[in-house]
Amino acid sequence: MDQRIGSLALEQALKQAMRFLASGVVVATTVHNGQRLAMAATSATSLSMDPPSMLLCVHEASAFYQALIASKDFTINILNQTHEDVSAACGGGAVGEEKFKTGNWATSTGGLPYLGDAACTIICSNDSNFKYGTHGLFVGRVMQVLQNEQFDPLIYADGHYHKLAG
């Protein structure tokens, strides 16, 4: 069997399998050369509690990847159900500064944009990174956590947004 055809079939099978994995939606932000950048993702997770750290996976072809390679700080904003429009804007529906026209954006003391009414915002220092395949894996050392009272996470699975049954 041709390896390339097998590889494509495996890639498609993995994409289909990952549709079964429900994930919370986040919007990561950073600043590079004075420009605010944001991207929606489901590929963020806690890495360690000692030291407190997060893992963020970013496609190498994105402007966000290039900014994180050059930048030391980023945020991970955990979205609520009310942020579906923010997710859509930051997930490819808007470009550049247009991404920040939707949502309640604020600026941290370190100059990072963050979603003021996110369920939670985790402010990270870019501690290390490495490339694997088409993605960069960024380890963020947690510097600050901002939490809101509301708990109604935006969940993504099978190509759609979902609500937790409650």
Checking if the pLDDT of 87 tops 60, the result is yes
pLDDT in tens, 88-99: 999 987 889 999
Query: How large is the average pLDDT for residues 54-79?
Result: 94
In a domain, 131, yes or no: yes
Q: Which pLDDT score, from 0 to 100, does residue 97 have?
A: 94
Determine contact, residues 30/67, Cβ cutoff 8 Å.
Answer: yes
The number of domains in the chain is 1
Q: Which pLDDT score, from 0 to 100, does residue 165 have?
A: 72
Question: In whole angstroms, what is the distance from residue 101 CA to residue 115 CA?
Answer: 12
In a domain, 104, yes or no: yes
Checking if the pLDDT of 71 tops 90, the result is no
Q: Which pLDDT score, from 0 to 100, does residue 1 have?
A: 44
Query: How large is the average pLDDT for residues 70-91?
Result: 94
In a domain, 85, yes or no: yes
In a domain, 27, yes or no: yes
φ, ψ dihedrals at 34, nearest 5°: 80, 0
Range of the domain at 149: 23-162
In a domain, 14, yes or no: no
In a domain, 4, yes or no: no
Confidence grade of residue 5 (pLDDT, cut at 50, 70, 90): low
Checking if the pLDDT of 65 tops 50, the result is yes
Q: What is the pTM of this model?
A: 0.91
Question: In whole angstroms, what is the distance from residue 62 CA to residue 66 CA?
Answer: 7
Q: How far is CA 157 from CA 18, 23, 54, 87, 88, in A?
A: 8, 7, 21, 14, 15
What percentage of the chain has pLDDT greater than the value 70?
96
pLDDT in tens, 23-43: 999 999 999 999 999 999 989
In a domain, 15, yes or no: no
Tokens matching residue 18:
């990952």
CATH number for the domain that contains residue 101: 2.30.110.10
Q: Is 115 helix (H, G, I), strand (E, B) or coil?
A: strand
Question: In whole angstroms, what is the distance from residue 122 CA to residue 78 CA?
Answer: 8
Query: How large is the average pLDDT for residues 67-87?
Result: 94
Checking if the pLDDT of 86 tops 80, the result is yes
DSSP letters, 48-101, are EETTEEEEEEEETTSHHHHHHHH-SEEEEEEPBGGGHHHHHIIIIIS-GGGGGG
In a domain, 38, yes or no: yes
Query: How large is the average pLDDT for residues 116-143?
Result: 96
Checking if the pLDDT of 100 tops 90, the result is yes
Q: Which pLDDT score, from 0 to 100, does residue 4 have?
A: 59
